[in-house]
Amino acid sequence: MTSPHPRQARIHVIGAGPGGLACARILQRHGISVTVHERDTGPDARDQGGTLDLRADNGQVALREAGLLDEFFALARPEGQEMRRLDPSGALLSHQLPAPGALFKPEIDRGRLRGLLLGSLRPGTVRWGQGLDRVGGPARGPRVLHFTDGTTAEADLVIGADGAFSRVRPAVSPAVPAYSGVSFLEAWFTDVEARHPGIADLVGQGGAHAADGERGLFAQRNGGGHIRVYLVQRVPADWITASGLTAEDTGALRARLRKSYAHWSPRMRRMITDNDGPYVDRPIFALPAPHTWAHDPTVTLLGDAAHLMPPLGVGVNLALLDASDLALALAGAATVDDALHAYERTMLPRSARTARALEGAAEHLLAAD
């Protein structure tokens, strides 16, 4: 099969996260048709996660190409650039405050960013409730997408933007994410100024990190009076079920955490055990560094599907930059295949450099220094 011109191609994006939606938005701005498939049944089907810092040299570059940078700044929280480092007693070790007017990496709630991107797309672009089962068809195309609802679709280009455990990735790579040895346990706090003023005072308007060499936490101020705290532990990936518990066993998990963090001060332990509602188990996985694949003329990857790394502030920014680079390559190429060559020549070396730099870096969140 001859690779088609991008404007004549049937382009399907798998995954309606920030990367997939940004790619679709930029493609549509350049007159290229695209369909996005998402396993969620709708935009409000589940909590979208915490806050994101979008940086001027990558995430904001993509939003500029999407024509959404001004709208982003209207929704973002520049004050969220504040960063604090605490010790287990709660003493302030270092404090970074953003300069007035600084916009290098303002924060935005993931749900707000997704809403901004969704609202920018043509009606009907996203097909909800369509989780991908597998990619079939020959490498030269057309590809056949098999969805979990039993439907299929033919594609000239499949873009895997479907995250850590991508169902597109096996079409080009046998790699699977490996457990890092470090796990997050997420705790939520609501209406913090009224209900958790001590925690609000510790965290400030941005983020706060503390660790003792064996365990740690990272707290993030979100919009709407919310704070999320990620308890960082070096434990087996299945430590909760191996203990005979589930993530919903809030009381039992709190008892274990009180023992583990017993030497931390009472006011710091409030961020560990005074949460509103159950914990969320988030073991940290990463792809091999670097993760590459042999070029395929009909399938490519972006974001975590391409280069899953520890969550240290680069993931969504790289996903957005990938999305922009891929969409612009398609807008300027004579064929889909030419565009993928151009995109992967830029993306793969960039992600390899970053992945090598962050290899094993989840351990840094446990370091007292």
Q: Render pLDDT for 221-238 as a digit per residue (tens, 0 to 9).
A: 999 999 999 999 999 999
Is it the case that residue 56 has pLDDT exceeding 90? yes
**Do 15 and 161 contact (CB within 8 A), yes or no?**
yes
Cα separation values, 81 from 97, 184, 338, Å: 7, 22, 39
CATH 3.50.50.60, the chain: domain bounds: 6-82+98-176+287-366
Residue 364: band (very low, low, confident or very high) from pLDDT cuts 50, 70, 90: confident
**Would you give the end-to-end CA distance of the chain in angstroms?**
57
**Do 180 and 284 contact (CB within 8 A), yes or no?**
yes
**Do 317 and 60 contact (CB within 8 A), yes or no?**
no
**Do 366 and 213 contact (CB within 8 A), yes or no?**
yes
β pairing state of 207-211 and 299-301: unpaired
6-15, 39-48, 157-166, 255-264: range with lowest mean pLDDT = 39-48
pLDDT confidence of residue 343: 98
Average the pLDDT over 300-329 and give the result.
95
Is it the case that residue 206 has pLDDT exceeding 90? yes
Average the pLDDT over 102-124 and give the result.
96
Give pTM, 2 decimals.
0.96
H helical segments located in the chain: 18-29, 59-65, 69-75, 110-119, 192-195, 197-203, 239-242, 250-260, 266-273, 304-307, 315-332, 336-358
For residue 13, the cross-strand partners are 36, 159
CATH 3.30.9.30, the chain: domain bounds: 180-284
Reduced DSSP (H G I as helix, E B as strand, rest coil) percent helix, strand, coil of the chain, to 5? 35, 25, 40
What tokens appear for 161 in the block?
């933007």
The rounded distance, in Å, linking the Cα atoms of 65 and 23 is: 10
Following DSSP, what letter does each residue of 243-277 receive, concatenated? TT--TT-HHHHHHHHHHHTTTS-HHHHHHHH--SS
**Do 210 and 88 contact (CB within 8 A), yes or no?**
yes
Average the pLDDT over 159-185 and give the result.
97
Judging by beta carbons within 10 Å of its beta carbon (0-12, 13-18, 19+), is residue 277 exposed, middle or buried? exposed
Mean pLDDT of the chain: 95
Which CATH number is correct for 180-284, 3.10.310.10, 3.40.50.1820, 3.40.710.10, 3.30.9.30? Answer: 3.30.9.30
Domain at 6-82+98-176+287-366: CATH code: 3.50.50.60
Is it the case that residue 313 has pLDDT exceeding 80? no
Is it the case that residue 95 has pLDDT exceeding 80? yes
344-367 residues labelled b (16+ CB within 10 A) or e (exposed)? beebbebbeebbeebeebbebbbe
Q: Among 65, 78, 77, 50, which Cα is nearest to 19's?
A: 65
Is it the case that residue 335 has pLDDT exceeding 80? yes
Q: What's the residue count for the chain?
A: 369
Three-state secondary structure readout of 60-118: HHHHHHCCCHHHHHHHCEHHHHCEEEECCCCCEEEEECCCCCCCCCCEEEHHHHHHHHH
β pairing state of 157-160 and 299-301: parallel
Q: How does DSSP classify residue 326?
A: H
The number of helices, as runs of H, and strands, as runs of E, in the chain is 12, 17
The rounded distance, in Å, linking the Cα atoms of 47 and 34 is: 26
Residue 131: band (very low, low, confident or very high) from pLDDT cuts 50, 70, 90: very high
Average the pLDDT over 262-283 and give the result.
96
Is it the case that residue 1 has pLDDT exceeding 90? no
The rounded distance, in Å, linking the Cα atoms of 303 and 59 is: 12
Q: Among 38, 37, 42, 112, which Cα is nearest to 72's?
A: 112
What tokens appear for 296 in the block?
């395929």
Angle between helices 315-332 and 336-358 (to 10 degrees): 160
What tokens appear for 46 in the block?
């589940």
